[in-house]
Structure 1
Amino acid sequence: MRKLYTANHLLEAYIVRDLLENAYIPVRLFNEYAQGGTGEIPFTHTYPEVWVVRDPDFERGQEIIAAYERAPQVTDSVLCPQCGEENPGSFQLCWQCGGGLELAGDKSRNR
């Protein structure tokens, strides 16, 4: 077992864990509940860590994480053509009415 990734926060550790598990790389998450100890122990010891269970998966895991870190952040939004609600640009369905956002096209995207 090898440490593959140290996350800044627990949500990021969950995202990385899910990416790796979806690629059939079994991982373990350490320090999942350690952030409550901040102040009692050094904060760097409370960062969540993602460890690869099988050493041969380590390099492939590094490639997946590198692709995750290179992926652009989606910060645009799209207006629903049915109800006019603003949704994150990564959504495919409106969170308000469930309408399809792919119909909205580029003309309703806010940048």
Structure 2
Amino acid sequence: MQNFEDYLCERNDTIDNAAYQLIGVLTAEDPGASLEDDPATPNWDMAIIGEVVDAVKEIIIEKVGYTCHPFYCDEVPCYLTDECDNKHCPLRRHDVEDKEKADEEKSRF
């Protein structure tokens, strides 16, 4: 199983890259061409990307009910807090499975 820090970095990079791709497609002169070479595509800007991600997350939460955008909450990984409501979170599922296995082992004695 992947550790949380690696999962957070990889997933958030993927989310940020997807948001930038969306910005590029929505602003490019030619969305089919390379966005990096298109003068109409804005430069990478985390302020803009963050706002796009937040807006999209709001819509997805409203329509689907959950998202997975990992973060730390007071130095605690999100999947270990009550702020994680994603039943499909791979880290949360493994954590629950590990706790269930530990409880089963304890009940044998």
Q: TM-score category by the smaller chain?
A: under 0.3
Q: Normalized per residue, which structure has more strand?
A: 1
Q: Normalized per residue, which structure has more helix?
A: 2
TM-score for both structures, normalised by structure 2 = 0.21
TM-score for both structures, normalised by structure 1 = 0.21
